[in-house]
Amino acid sequence: MRRWGLGVLSALVLFPIVDVGLAAQAAPAGQAPAGRGGARGAGGGGGPFQKVPGQLANGWNAPSTVARTKLRHEWVDIPVGASKVHTWIEYPDGEAKAPVVVVMSYEAGLDDWMRSVADELATDGYIALAPDLLTGFGPNGGNYDAFKSPDEAIRATRAKVTAAQAMRQYLATGAYGLRLPRANGKIASVGFGPGGTFSFRFAAEAPTVDAAVVFYGVAPDAATLQKVKVPVIGFYGEDDPDVTGTVDATAAAMKSAGKSFNYQIYPGATHHFGLISIEGRNGPAIQDAWMRTLAFFKERLQ
């Protein structure tokens, strides 16, 4: 598996609504080092370079989080019609049945950060499935990790992956997850950026679905919102007008359709506040949003 580390963050210059100041950032002034512990790694140190137990990794520490996981994980090629989607699956400890969560990628695709989201969900007791939308689109027919740089992967996604195709892959992934021996019959989705939009669509189009979480993704069209089956929650950064400016209209449309949509806009937070958690007020935003996400999943899936 190719590990690009912080290189993926520089690729976000392709998306003007993203703040890309991470490479120049140090730990916020006055912030105490955050210890690391739990099953995935040793303690010591802190700041942006070590993951806080119970919280998502960020762009700095995602590669080490994935490398150190002790949870069972595997790659599976899930059939999607006549094709397939290469999918990372990670399981919680033990053999008990568990809910399924489909993890939907942000612009850069199935990188270490997206896999670290799956790892955190598995740590919290969920079977996490993260499909690679670039399956077969890499150099020489490879997948996401066949690209030489994240910006190449992003350009390939824009050029080759249609919204309809991505939705088919996510729906196939969800159906596969529900057939896993350890699946308890409950399923949800969580997505970031464009993955957030697909998570919203999943709440409308998946035959079986129990909850959906949207991180800084715009809503789908009004016709799709009319078909939403289950409660949706959304998390947005105030300093992200291109996305946050759409939320009031989304809330009004959902209310008019009799659907449940709760959301939080975090003051001072930017787009991608989950990935770039040391920028401005992004750290407190993702900490609160992730705890709300887990509480929502616990309510809806267990």
Candidate from 14-18, 98-102, 121-125, 248-252 with smallest mean pLDDT: 14-18
Candidate from 72-76, 168-172, 275-279 with smallest mean pLDDT: 275-279
The amino acid at residue 37 is: G
Residue 278: pLDDT band (50, 70, 90) is confident
Which pLDDT belongs to residue 53?
Answer: 87
pLDDT at 142 over 70: yes
> Strand ranges (DSSP E) for the chain?
73-80, 83-90, 98-104, 127-131, 183-192, 211-215, 232-239, 261-270
Domain presence at residue 124: yes
Tell me which DSSP letter residue 80 carries. E
Which pLDDT belongs to residue 48?
Answer: 60
Per the rule left: phi > 0, alpha: psi between -120 and 50, beta: everything else, 99 is beta
pLDDT at 2 over 60: no
Domain presence at residue 194: yes
Domain presence at residue 164: yes
Q: How many domains does the chain fold into? A: 1
DSSP states along 119-142 = HHHHHTT-EEEEE-TTTTTSGGG-
Domain presence at residue 55: no
Whether residue 179 contacts residue 294, with contact meaning beta carbons closer than 8 Å, is answered with: no
Residue 47: pLDDT band (50, 70, 90) is low
pLDDT at 52 over 80: yes
Which pLDDT belongs to residue 170?
Answer: 98
Residues 190-229 have pLDDT tens digits of 999 999 999 999 999 999 999 999 999 999 999 999 999 9
pLDDT at 40 over 60: no
Domain presence at residue 271: yes
pLDDT at 244 over 60: yes
pLDDT at 286 over 80: yes
Candidate from 10-14, 89-93, 205-209, 228-232 with smallest mean pLDDT: 10-14
Greater confidence (35 vs 262) lies with: 262
Greater confidence (27 vs 263) lies with: 263
CATH code: domain of residue 182: 3.40.50.1820
Residues 249-261 have pLDDT tens digits of 999 999 999 999 9
pLDDT at 42 over 60: no
- pLDDT, mean of residues 241-270: 97
Paired sense of beta strands 83-90 and 73-80, if any: antiparallel
Please name the residue that has the structure tokens 């030489």. Answer: 148
Domain presence at residue 210: yes
Candidate from 3-17, 118-132, 143-157 with smallest mean pLDDT: 3-17
Domain presence at residue 28: no
Domain presence at residue 44: no
- Computed over every residue of the chain, the mean pLDDT equals 86
Candidate from 1-5, 77-81, 274-278, 284-288 with smallest mean pLDDT: 1-5
pLDDT at 99 over 60: yes
Domain span including residue 162: 71-301
